[in-house]
Amino acid sequence: MAIKDFTTGNIVRDYSVDQLKDAAKLMRGYDLAVLCAAGSGHAGGTLSIMDITAALYLKVADHDPKNASWPDRDRIIWSTGHKAPSLYLGLAFAGFCPVEDVALLRKLWTPYQGHPHWLKLPGVEVSTGSLGQGLSIAVGIALAGKLAGKNYRTFCIMGDGEQQEGQIWEAAMEASHHKLDNLVGIVDCNHLQIDGKVSDVMNVDPLDEKYRSFGWEVLRIDGHDMQQVVGALEKAKAGCGKPVVIMAETVKGKGVSFMEDLAGWHGRSPNLEELKKALAELDITDRVPYQKLLDIAKFYQVEVDRRLDAKMPKFSRNYWWNSTENMRVKMEPTRKGFGQSLANNGDDERVVCLGLDISGSITISDFYASKPERKRRWISMGIAEQSATSAAAGLAKEGLLPVLGT
């Protein structure tokens, strides 16, 4: 079904499998270009989910770009909110917004923030970003559909590392208990998260058996085989009397050789040279106007800077750090102090550090980085904030000094 005119019920456009493959390739190119323009973001996961994005937004989900709030539309929930560029490009290619506008990714005052904001961009169903919450939201939306007698489907996109969140399993239990056959979970199984391999950080397998034991129908596919992707999504949408989850085997950084299957590309954006190399590998250099996209972002930022400067109070002298010789300081992110303190004070055998997957970002892993003998006092807990906090309470009860951060 896909893109419809809800006033007439007519399908505006239908895509063949080959057209979807081409669209996914182009979306990958635009994704890399807007990430480069932003100077930050998540390349790895946005590339791994793109085939599913193309199939959902251009082929399987019923929605109307001219009426984003059409009551009978299918709902798509991005529990993995950090993959927002994929969401934005799915909407753009479907006609909800101009594709070139996505070049304003992560810019102040634009609707294309680093995590989706439903009040700012038509087509975005929910503001997400805190992992583990999306499936619960999807359960609520599916329940609302049942109560209202609606036939729409609710799709929820999740990551495999995200399955470490306990809330996921509460929602899975609820969906089965209430026989939500209008709910479809999609797990992007790229096997990597910020801290490394999912199996090393906190093993979640066997996911298929776990979901089946919770009463779900499970479909496992190659997430980059468009025929399989479309087939699974259409089968799941048709319903089978219980919730369905699609386990999509994917490759983080798919399509770009120097990004593929590398955890380091989880939270990185390409620089200009890397962008050009990636577009060449995708064979779409002449089809993605990357310089125009970069210029759109650049000129917009100039105007943002001008507006911000106009709001700043002016004094007879400039008192900003590093503005004059007598104001010279070394500028470092505040979070680095966390890691430096642990590195300097971690010899106490009572100190135990708990890793919650963002270890490098908050620098908690500096605790053992230069002192490998401390590694035995490093405990990986995965993406599980509530459980890790309670585990820390248990460690503290036994006289240890647990440290964690998220």
289-312 pLDDT tens trace: 999 999 999 999 999 999 999 998
- What pLDDT was estimated at residue 201? 97
Is the pLDDT confidence value at 1 over 80? Answer: no
Cβ neighbours of residue 373 under 8 Å, at least 6 residues apart?
none
Q: What is the mean pLDDT of residues 253-271?
A: 97
pLDDT class of 406 with cuts at 50, 70, 90: confident
Q: What is the mean pLDDT of residues 218-224?
A: 98
Q: Report percent pLDDT > 90 for the chain.
A: 90
Is the pLDDT confidence value at 2 over 90? Answer: no
Residues of the chain with CATH 3.40.50.970: 3-291
Domain at 3-291, CATH from 1.20.1250.20, 3.40.50.2300, 1.10.3720.10, 3.40.50.970: 3.40.50.970
* Closest C-alpha among 77, 108, 100 to residue 288: 100
pLDDT class of 3 with cuts at 50, 70, 90: confident
- What pLDDT was estimated at residue 9? 84
Q: Where is average pLDDT lowest: 2-16, 210-224, 232-246, 248-262?
A: 2-16
- What pLDDT was estimated at residue 172? 98
Q: Report percent pLDDT > 70 for the chain.
A: 100
pLDDT class of 13 with cuts at 50, 70, 90: confident
**Higher-scoring residue by pLDDT: 314, 126:** 126
**Residue 35 near residue 43, CB atoms below 8 Å:** yes
Question: Model's pTM, two decimal places?
Answer: 0.95
Q: What is the mean pLDDT of residues 172-200?
A: 97
Angle at 172 between CA 240 and CA 132, to 5 degrees: 130
Q: What is the mean pLDDT of residues 207-231?
A: 98
Residue 227 CA to its chain's centroid (Å)? 24
Mean pLDDT for the chain?
A: 96
Distance, CA of 114 to CA of 99 (rounded, Å) = 16
Q: What is the mean pLDDT of residues 317-322?
A: 87
Cβ neighbours of residue 245 under 8 Å, at least 6 residues apart?
184, 185, 186, 187, 211, 216, 217, 218, 219
Give the 3-state secondary structure of 70-93. CCCCCEEEECCHHHHHHHHHHHHH
Q: Amino acid letter at 354?
A: L
* Closest C-alpha among 84, 83, 20 to residue 57: 20
Convert the pLDDT of each residue in 347-394 to its tens digit: 999 999 999 999 999 999 999 999 999 999 999 999 999 999 999 999
pLDDT class of 5 with cuts at 50, 70, 90: confident
- What pLDDT was estimated at residue 317? 86
Distance, CA of 110 to CA of 113 (rounded, Å) = 7
pLDDT class of 152 with cuts at 50, 70, 90: very high
**Residue 38 near residue 81, CB atoms below 8 Å:** no
Q: What is the mean pLDDT of residues 120-135?
A: 96
